[in-house]
Structure 1
C-alpha cells in the first residue's frame, strides 16, 4: 500500500485526485493540504510515502516545500503535479529534491504509474515533457551540425578568448599572464589558430576573424 498526501490549493483538484486514486487498490490517500505550510504542520502525525503536490500555491509553494521536505524528511518521496512545462522549472524542482514530475492533464494511468515509480525509489518525468525535451535536444544538435558545416574552422572558447586578446595587441607573455597560463601554451594556441583558419600571419588571422564575426 502506497500512502499518499495530496497538496493543492484547489479543493476541486484534490477531490478529483482522491476519486481517481482511491479507486486503485494499492493506493491510499492519507492526508490533504491546501499549501506547503499546511502539509509541513500535518506531516509529523501522518505516516506518508509519497507527497503528490502542486507547484503554484499560496503561503508556501511547491518549490519551497520541496526544499523543506528534502531537508527535514529525506525519506519522503516527492511527486510534482503541475501545468508548468518549462524545462528550467522542471530542472529546479529535481535539483531541489523532487523525485518526479507529471502534468495535470496526464491521464490517470500515467499519474498512477508516476506514483508507483517514485514510491519504488525511481525518478519519473511525464511523457509529454520528456518528448518535448528530446525534440529540443535533437533540434539543437541539428543546428550545431549545420553551423559546423558552415564554419569548418570552429574555434574552442579558449581559442576565441586568445584571438580577442591577440587582436587587442597583447604579446604572448601578456596574454599568458592575463590567463594565468604559460607563454608556451599561448604560442601553441596561436599556432593552432593559424592552422585552423589557414591564415599566413597574425594580421591575416585577425582579418579573417573579423570577417567571420568572431571579434
Structure 2
C-alpha cells in the first residue's frame, strides 16, 4: 500500500466544441472496475444517441487495471489519448468517458487524438486533483483552558484539524504520518504538560489539496 497517491477531487463534466463537433467529458472517481463499468454504462445510456462514447480508466494505486476504448473512432485516436492524459496528470482510481456528437467536419487522426486528449485533460483540470496521504488519526482531549493554545500549536505546525467536539472537555481530531506518531505524541505531551488525553486511532487516507508544479518556461 502506497503512503500517498493522486486522484481527482470530485466527479464532474466538461464540454468543448471543435469544428462543430461537441465533446462532452464525464469524469469520476472509482475504486473498483465494477464501479467504472457502472459509470460507463450510465454515461452511455444518457448519451445513447451520441456518435461515440470513448473511455479510459485507471484503477489501483499502481494502475493495476487499465482499460480504454475507441468506441468506433479510428484505432488509437480516442481511448489511448484519454488514458495517456490520465497518466500525464498522474491520477489514479479515475474513469473518463468522452462523448462525441459529430458536427459534420472530419478532424483526421491527429485532430482526433488532440481532441480526446484535451477533453480528458481539461476535465481533470476542471475538477481538480487531490493527494491522498496515509496517516494515523489522533484524538486529543484537553480542558477548555488549553483549547486555544492547542489549536494554535496544531495550526502553526501545519496539522489539519478535521473535527472538534465540545463536551465536558474539548476533543480535537487531527492526524500525522504513521512514522511520525511517536514524535508527535511526545511533542503534544510536552505542549500540554501531560494534562491532555491522547488516543491513537487507525490509519486511513487523508485528502490534501494538490497543486501540480508548473514547468519553468
Q: What is the TM-score when the length of structure 2 is the normalising length?
A: 0.25
- Whichever structure has more helix as a proportion of its residues is 1
- Whichever structure has more strand as a proportion of its residues is 2
**Bigger CA radius of gyration:** 1
Q: Which has the higher contact order (CA 8 A, sep 6+)?
A: 2
Q: What is the TM-score when the length of structure 1 is the normalising length?
A: 0.25
